[in-house]
Amino acid sequence: MAYKDLREYLGVLEAKGKLFRIKNEVDRTWETSAISRRVFDRLPDEKRPALFFERIKGSTMPMTIGVLGASREIYSLALECTVDEIPERWAEAQTTPIAPEAVRDGLCHEIVYEGDAVDATQLPASTWTVEHDSGPYLTAPCVVSHDPETGERNLGTYRIEMRSPRRVGLQLSNATRDMWTTSTRTS
């Protein structure tokens, strides 16, 4: 059974001792990435927690890091299986994908911005390699795309650079997969 939402999943991580909360205010431009790197580099995979930054300077939103990728154990909790069952769960998902479901109300409709009110830079994104990255990035977002010619849907993880309130960059770095092949096929 899938989690109802991110809040439910975070509750499971916390109950399993796999979520560490940072209560102090942190700077999203460098502190979130520095803390994350230190935690992930110093702890062995099986002991790594996901991180929940409660107070981000300049943002009204908290930030989570590592809720899928901090460890294999965390990833198995996300998929509701054991670590050894992860490949099987992926194979099952590839052969029997779940179609998206449009909803009229729900958590995704609590706050809606349109037109000039849209400001993607308000998302608490980190600058992961300070002085080397050109800006803050969402490093592991789930990006849903739709091929207008074939109707094929894709869900992938692509690095997104926050460039301005209404402009982001999407890194299509693997020339043999998914959105890269779709974007070059239509060019």
Q: Structural domain boundaries of the chain?
A: 1-98, 104-187
pLDDT at 175: 63
Output the tens digit of pLDDT for each of the chain's 187 residues: 688 888 999 999 999 999 999 999 999 888 998 999 999 999 999 999 999 999 999 888 899 999 988 999 999 999 999 999 999 998 998 898 887 778 888 777 788 889 999 988 888 877 776 677 777 888 778 888 888 888 888 777 788 888 888 898 887 766 665 666 655 554 4
pLDDT at 130: 65
Block residue for tokens 């994350």: 36
**Angle formed by the axes of helices 6-15 and 72-79, nearest 10°:** 130
pLDDT at 9: 96
pLDDT at 162: 84
Tell me if the pTM is above 0.85: no
pLDDT at 84: 97
Cα separation, 44 vs 39, whole angstroms: 9
pLDDT at 187: 46
Reading phi first (left if > 0) and then psi (alpha if -120 to 50, else beta), residue 80 is in: left
pLDDT at 111: 82
Integer CA distances (angstroms), 139 to 40, 56, 83, 176, in order? 15, 17, 23, 20
